[in-house]
Amino acid sequence: MTTTPRMPGRVWIGWIKAVLFALCLLPALRLALGWQDDALGANPIETITRASGEWTLNFLLITLAVTPLRRLSGLNWLLRLRRMLGLFAFAYGCAHLATYLWLDQFFDWPAIAHDILKRPFITVGFAALVLMTPLALTSNAWSIRHLGGRRWQALHRSVYGIAILGVVHYWWLVKADVREPMLYAFALAWLLGMRAWWREQERRRQQSMPPPVPPFKGRVIRIVPTDK
Amino acid sequence: AKLGPLAASPFSTGEEKTGYKAVTTYNNFYEFGTDKGDPVENAGRLATRPWTVRVEGLAGKPRTFDIDELLRFAPLEERIYRMRCVEGWSMVIPWVGFPLASLLKRVEPLGSAKYVEFVTHYDPQVMSRRQVLDWPYTEGLRLDEALHPLTILTVGLYGEVLPNQNGAPVRLVVPWKYGFKSVKSIVTIRLTEKQPATAWNKAARHEYGFYSNVNPQVDHPRWSQATERRIGEIRKRPTLMFNGYAEQVASLYQGMDLRANF
């Protein structure tokens, strides 16, 4: 009988990462080819804007799904894919912003500034991308070492808020049919809710536990005051 | 099917027409789905015969018109109009139709009639059952807007019978207003004294006013209206007052605050 190791070897992780990297590039590749073949419909700029925005949200949710998946499945090596997924969320977010600045507005800075200040959905989306930047910049071993694990983790927990901003951005953009943003909102609520639940469970477990008893051997000798 | 013969119109623009494919595959027709590609997928289910249009309300001679009667009602004209969507894109479309005024005059509007309400077809058997908007979709015009020679009832485009996704068998086209005012698949036209409720205004009062004239100076909370992207082009172009029809229609709004009456 053979036993499966919990952790795939170094080489396996390398392969998995390479395949995942290629998969993550597919949406971008499809858009690039579609642009070249004029196959993105009557309003290709709108198609690219929408697709890059949706993939930013998709990757944010996929990244947030890593921890719950790891907990539920016990596949701890999944954690080693999280950084790449998070960076892809940032990359698609940058592509989304670039599409807006370049293809859509053609660097009309006054119009862009007006949009960011006056249109709540753009304000929120822009804020989300700005807030993602420090997370992307500190997604490396050097930053973890220099910030210290605890501070690094605190910083990266802001991804919860960023994901909420992202879903709000989508919700406010939609004219009337909020079905799709609602799906994202449900998925995000589920992912964040699981974390809140686990955290609460952990808190309760710690509370209900008796204070730790020091290990000792031998008999207990009571010291009773002698004066009655 | 070809429509014809078609008279040319002095109101037609000489600008380059948007391709037939874009005009018939990139549509807002929420009854058939909210994606631009949904109407062309789903509108085939709509049966456009038999079809009648009831013209009623404050009219001396209210009447129901059969669609085939409407097709022969007045000489059909080709009207090549700019169409500006509130979402910031535009097209140039060769519509086929006749002035709404000729139909309204036939029913003899009463002096008390001040507005015209349009009610469109809604059939949950073939259309979306989700209450994205308050179905049936309704719209309205002031009577003088409805009687304006630019306002047409449309039965075709590119010289052919109107495709379902574009609002078959008969729709309204009001070229100086945002596209959502130009309702599709009309079943009732009602002359009224009070300003009728309109679908988008009911959905978002602060975003879509009753007038909804194309106006680059009045910002929409969601989109800048200063510029637009002509479908097929990459760079945006400035949006024109009344979508370029100011010469013909500006007098309708003399002395009105167009910011308050957006």
Distance of CA B191 to the CA centre of its chain: 17
Structure tokens at A159: 């991804």
Residues of A in contact with B199 (CB under 8 A): none
pLDDT at B15: 97
Smallest Cβ–Cβ distance between A42 and the set B87, B130, B231 belongs to: B231
Evaluate if residue B3 carries a pLDDT over 70. Answer: yes
In-domain check, residue A206: no
Q: Tell me what the pLDDT averaged over chain A comes to.
A: 92
In-domain check, residue A216: no
Least confident of A93-107, B8-22, B219-233: B219-233
Looking at residue B94, the DSSP 8-state letter turns out to be E
Across the strands, what pairs with B13? Answer: none
Compute, in degrees rounded to 10, the torsion defined by CA atoms A88, A94, A99, A102.
-150
pLDDT tens for B4-55 read 899 999 999 999 999 999 999 999 999 999 999 999 999 999 999 999 999 9
Residue type present at position B185? S
Evaluate if residue A223 carries a pLDDT over 90. Answer: no
Cα separation of B58 and A181, whole Å? 44
Count chain A–chain B contacts defined by CB atoms under 8 A: 53
**Which SS3 state, helix, strand or coil, does residue B171 take?**
strand
Q: Counting every residue, how long is chain B?
A: 262
**Which SS3 state, helix, strand or coil, does residue B128 take?**
coil
Helix (H) or strand (E) holding A34: helix A10-36
Helix (H) or strand (E) holding B120: strand B115-120
User: C-alpha distances in angstroms, B262 versus A5, B182, B254?
Assistant: 68, 16, 14
Overall domain count for chain A: 1
Q: Is B36 on the interface with A (CB under 8 A)?
A: yes
pLDDT tens for B42-68 read 999 999 999 999 999 999 999 999 999
Confidence of residue B224 (pLDDT cuts 50, 70, 90): confident
Is the CB of A115 less than 8 angstroms away from the CB of B224?
yes
pLDDT at B4: 80
Cα separation of A94 and A90, whole Å? 6
Q: Tell me what the pLDDT averaged over chain B comes to.
A: 96
Cα separation of B85 and B225, whole Å? 10
Evaluate if residue B157 carries a pLDDT over 50. Answer: yes
Q: What angle do CA B69, B71, B77 make, to 5 degrees?
A: 145
- Section B194-220 average pLDDT: 95
Q: Is B235 on the interface with A (CB under 8 A)?
A: yes
Half-sphere exposure of B3 (CA within 13 A, CB side): 27
Q: What contacts A92, CB < 8 A, 6 or more positions away?
A: A27, A28, A52, A55, A56, A59
pLDDT tens for A112-136 read 999 999 999 999 999 999 999 999 9
In-domain check, residue A213: no
Evaluate if residue B244 carries a pLDDT over 90. Answer: yes
Smallest Cβ–Cβ distance between A43 and the set B130, B231, B236 belongs to: B231
Evaluate if residue B154 carries a pLDDT over 70. Answer: yes
- Section A89-94 average pLDDT: 98
Return the residue of A nearest to B31 by Cα: A177
Preferred mutation among A175, A177, A178, A182 to probe B, highest tally of B CBs within 10 A: A175
Cα separation of B97 and B141, whole Å? 18
pLDDT at B222: 84
Evaluate if residue A1 carries a pLDDT over 90. Answer: no
Residues of B in contact with A105 (CB under 8 A): 236
Helix (H) or strand (E) holding A183: helix A179-208
Q: Is A111 on the interface with B (CB under 8 A)?
A: yes
Residue A116 backbone dihedrals phi, psi, to 5 degrees: -65, -35
Q: Where are the alpha helices (DSSP H) in A74-119?
A: 82-98, 109-118
Q: Which of B238, B139, B250, B256 is nearest to B192 (CA)?
A: B139
Q: Is B49 left (phi over 0), alpha (psi -120 to 50) or beta?
A: beta
Residues of A in contact with B234 (CB under 8 A): 45, 103
Contact B118, B143 (CB under 8 A): no
Chain A: give the shortest CA distance to residue B78, in Å. Answer: 23
In-domain check, residue A143: yes
Confidence of residue A2 (pLDDT cuts 50, 70, 90): very low
Half-sphere exposure of B117 (CA within 13 A, CB side): 20
Cα separation of B119 and B122, whole Å? 9
Is the CB of B219 less than 8 angstroms away from the CB of A118?
yes
Return the residue of B nearest to A122 by Cα: B222
Residues of B in contact with A46 (CB under 8 A): 89
Smallest Cβ–Cβ distance between B222 and the set A41, A43, A119 belongs to: A119
What percent of chain B stands above pLDDT 90? 95
Confidence of residue A228 (pLDDT cuts 50, 70, 90): low
Preferred mutation among B36, B131, B225, B239 to probe A, highest tally of A CBs within 10 A: B36
Q: What contacts B228, CB < 8 A, 6 or more positions away?
A: B84, B88, B89, B90, B236, B237, B238, B239
A66-75 contact pairs (CB < 8 A, 24+): A67/A195, A68/A191, A68/A194, A68/A195, A71/A198, A74/A6, A75/A6
Structure tokens at B56: 């009623």
In-domain check, residue A86: yes
In-domain check, residue A207: no
pLDDT at B219: 87
More confident residue, A189 or A218: A189
The whole domain housing A141 covers 16-201
- Section A80-105 average pLDDT: 97
Is the CB of B130 less than 8 angstroms away from the CB of A177?
yes
Confidence of residue A221 (pLDDT cuts 50, 70, 90): confident
Confidence of residue A145 (pLDDT cuts 50, 70, 90): very high
Confidence of residue B152 (pLDDT cuts 50, 70, 90): very high
Q: CB-based burial of residue B194 (10 Å sphere; 0-12 exposed, 13-18 middle, 19+ buried)?
A: exposed
In-domain check, residue A8: no
Preferred mutation among B83, B132, B212, B225 to probe A, highest tally of A CBs within 10 A: B132
Cα separation of B206 and B200, whole Å? 10
What percent of chain A stands above pLDDT 90? 83
Where in chain B are the domains? Answer: 20-253
In-domain check, residue A215: no
Confidence of residue B221 (pLDDT cuts 50, 70, 90): confident
Residues of B in contact with A121 (CB under 8 A): 222
Is the CB of B30 less than 8 angstroms away from the CB of A177?
yes
Q: Which fold has domain B20-253?
A: Sulfite Oxidase; Chain A, domain 2 (3.90.420)
Q: CB-based burial of residue A38 (10 Å sphere; 0-12 exposed, 13-18 middle, 19+ buried)?
A: exposed
Is the CB of B234 less than 8 angstroms away from the CB of A114?
no
Confidence of residue A6 (pLDDT cuts 50, 70, 90): low
Evaluate if residue A42 carries a pLDDT over 60. Answer: yes
